[in-house]
Chains A and B, each alone.
Chain A
């Protein structure tokens, strides 16, 4: 339904949107997530034909937005960040105008009635928009976007400025609309995207850094193969024991925990680069060595942490200079199928070479390293043993890891040497 290929939008020297590709199937609700200035609105403005891309193509319903703008625009309902309302018109007059402007062919009276009822603005139809509250204006904007039952709805921060009650209402509305429309919405609020969307596309600095279901994105970075263990005993010895668990195990000391007895207690982060579940082995090994295990936990990342982590990596990578960039990107567009829960790609970002290997040679893996700025190689990932796939495109480097560790939302990745 929506197909975006290598979209670039350049403002002067700054790339507001930097080589973004994705595709969205009918009936999906996709959330664009990213901090302010990540390129969400720019991408949406390009998709709707408001501005033109510097490079790349965007197709809506099979029509290129530049080549066949009329056809493409007929498929779109757009609610920009600031609803495009003529303040001196009544709601009714405004919707009539938009109805005509969009050349909607449906029976006018019934359709306007239907849309107004859907957005809950029946009661204010005769009022002048200037006098409406922000929440109502937002709804009128949404109603305007819904006119003509467009196949694709593009909503830029639809819940911004609404009170909590209205937010819940609008979310409910969006979810119910998702049955009939393909919806792209943007937000910088994670919980919102998490609540509403089937799929999340995370943008940062104009780059696509993750694409998948909320669960799969969290899972990609999830640390169930990475444990935090609080162990009493001589630090050196404990580390030796932990490393003895296997050649794929990496250990870092997270910090000392004091207790009243003055015993040496440290927190260790134990990671299996092969994503093994280490808990049983770890328990057995520590038992043998008579080292009391005081705490053992896997860090489940919330999406919030994942988000922060991805963003941090994004920023840290260029700073790291020759960071071993990893770029494994989901390509819904290349996959061509809906990233339903089980159709997702779970893909660890390794360094470029490994990514290439993981792809089994079917993807193109550009050598990275120098490409910290572009976010690196592309590779079509192979499903892991769970059959789930996600894709994460994130530059990754030693510095990044530190940054992530510092935030407490951590995970280790394979391919990183410690």
Chain B
């Protein structure tokens, strides 16, 4: 697993993908930071973290598109699957490499917070609540992206399909409001990523939200392993 993790991580930065991801994230992050904090003269990063949600949604597919699909295309999965490594080792190694790149992107927000702290005291616990929310959101989305990537050989298809899923996840809240029955409203509301994430940005650290994101991540990692397993048997 460590071998795969190390290779995947270095692959992000031996190709342009890792750099592009970080650059775009920093660019939009910087924009929202400027808009939400610098321009409005506040150390309250709620607006920033709220807006960053859509940036994360759009950038995660870039991060995950090649995770599994590239191996299929290059047939390097033959090396991975015939090596003495379990399927979970393969899937987790790749997952963690994407997570590390994502964390590197998120680390930027710490820089913003420190910058703000130089001018006025900031609410640290609130900030870490925000950060934690963004991290848990990322964990779940990366797992979804990895799963989609495992379904296809083409990175482009993986990326487009992931975008579609991310879009759907963003639109789901709108859907909830037009549902005819309360039950359906509750169901849709229950799987809404934004509502869960919004709790974090409001400064609410609820265990239920944490568990929600973690279980989505676990579920899709499990699905990814199943996809690999299925390929062996079909």
Considering only residues 63-108 of chain B, those with a C-beta below 8 Å from chain A are 74-86
CA separation between A88 and B14, bound complex, in Å?
7
CA separation between A280 and B2, bound complex, in Å?
74
Do residues A51 and B232 form an inter-chain contact, with CB atoms below 8 A?
yes
**Interface with A: B3-11, B165-173, B176-184, which one?**
B3-11
The answer to whether residues A87 and B74 also contact, given A100-B6, A101-B4 and a CB cut-off of 8 A, is yes
Do residues A84 and B75 form an inter-chain contact, with CB atoms below 8 A?
yes
Which residues in A have their C-beta under 8 angstroms from that of B15? 88
CA separation between A85 and B80, bound complex, in Å?
11
CA separation between A122 and B83, bound complex, in Å?
24
Which residues in B have their C-beta under 8 angstroms from that of A87? 74
CA separation between A84 and B233, bound complex, in Å?
21
Which residues in B have their C-beta under 8 angstroms from that of A103? 84
Do residues A97 and B81 form an inter-chain contact, with CB atoms below 8 A?
no
Chain A minimum-CB-distance residue to B7: A97
Do residues B7 and A74 form an inter-chain contact, with CB atoms below 8 A?
no
With an 8 A cutoff between CB atoms, is A283 at the interface? no
The answer to whether residues A73 and B232 also contact, given A80-B75, A86-B76 and a CB cut-off of 8 A, is no
Which residues in A have their C-beta under 8 angstroms from that of B3? 97, 100-101
Which residues in A have their C-beta under 8 angstroms from that of B86? 70
With an 8 A cutoff between CB atoms, is A22 at the interface? no
CA separation between A84 and B189, bound complex, in Å?
45
Shortest B97–chain A CB gap in Å is 13
Do residues B11 and A86 form an inter-chain contact, with CB atoms below 8 A?
yes
Chain B minimum-CB-distance residue to A48: B82
The answer to whether residues A50 and B78 also contact, given A88-B15, A101-B85, A102-B83 and a CB cut-off of 8 A, is yes
Q: How many residues of B contact A (CB 8 A)?
A: 26
Do residues A88 and B11 form an inter-chain contact, with CB atoms below 8 A?
yes
The answer to whether residues A50 and B7 also contact, given A84-B75, A88-B15 and a CB cut-off of 8 A, is no
Shortest B88–chain A CB gap in Å is 12
Interface 0/1 of A76-109, CB less than 8 Å to B: 1010101011111100010001101111000000
Which residues in A have their C-beta under 8 angstroms from that of B232? 50-52
With an 8 A cutoff between CB atoms, is A49 at the interface? yes
Considering only residues 1-49 of chain B, those with a C-beta below 8 Å from chain A are 2-4, 6-7, 10-11, 14-15
With an 8 A cutoff between CB atoms, is A144 at the interface? yes
Which residues in B have their C-beta under 8 angstroms from that of A76? 82
Chain B minimum-CB-distance residue to A51: B232
Which residues in A have their C-beta under 8 angstroms from that of B4? 101
Chain A minimum-CB-distance residue to B85: A101
Which residues in B have their C-beta under 8 angstroms from that of A45? 78
Residue in B10, B14, B78 whose beta carbon sits within 8 Å of that of A78 in the complex: B78
CA separation between A74 and B78, bound complex, in Å?
15
Do residues B6 and A50 form an inter-chain contact, with CB atoms below 8 A?
no
Which residues in B have their C-beta under 8 angstroms from that of A100? 2-3, 6
Which residues in B have their C-beta under 8 angstroms from that of A73? 82-84
Interface 0/1 of A157-193, CB less than 8 Å to B: 0000000000000000000000000000000000000
Which residues in B have their C-beta under 8 angstroms from that of A50? 78, 81-82, 232
Do residues A74 and B233 form an inter-chain contact, with CB atoms below 8 A?
no
- Among B6, B10, B83, B233, which residue has the most Cβ atoms of chain A within 10 A? B83
Do residues A78 and B233 form an inter-chain contact, with CB atoms below 8 A?
no
**Can you spell out 29 A-B residue pairs with CB atoms less than 8 angstroms apart?**
A11-B234, A45-B78, A49-B82, A50-B232, A51-B231, A51-B233, A73-B83, A73-B84, A76-B82, A78-B78, A78-B82, A80-B75, A80-B78, A80-B79, A84-B74, A84-B76, A84-B78, A84-B80, A88-B11, A88-B15, A89-B11, A89-B14, A97-B3, A97-B7, A100-B2, A100-B6, A101-B3, A101-B4, A102-B84
- In addition to A71-B84, A98-B79, A101-B83, 11 A-B residue pairs with Cβ atoms within 8 Å of each other are A45-B78, A48-B82, A50-B232, A52-B233, A78-B78, A78-B82, A86-B76, A89-B7, A89-B14, A98-B83, A101-B80
Q: Give the 10 A-B CB pairs with smallest separation, nearest first.
A: A100-B3, A84-B79, A48-B82, A84-B76, A101-B3, A73-B84, A80-B78, A84-B78, A101-B83, A97-B7
Q: A-side interface residues toward B, CB under 8 Å? A: 11, 45, 48-52, 69-71, 73-74, 76, 78, 80, 82, 84-89, 93, 97-98, 100-103, 144
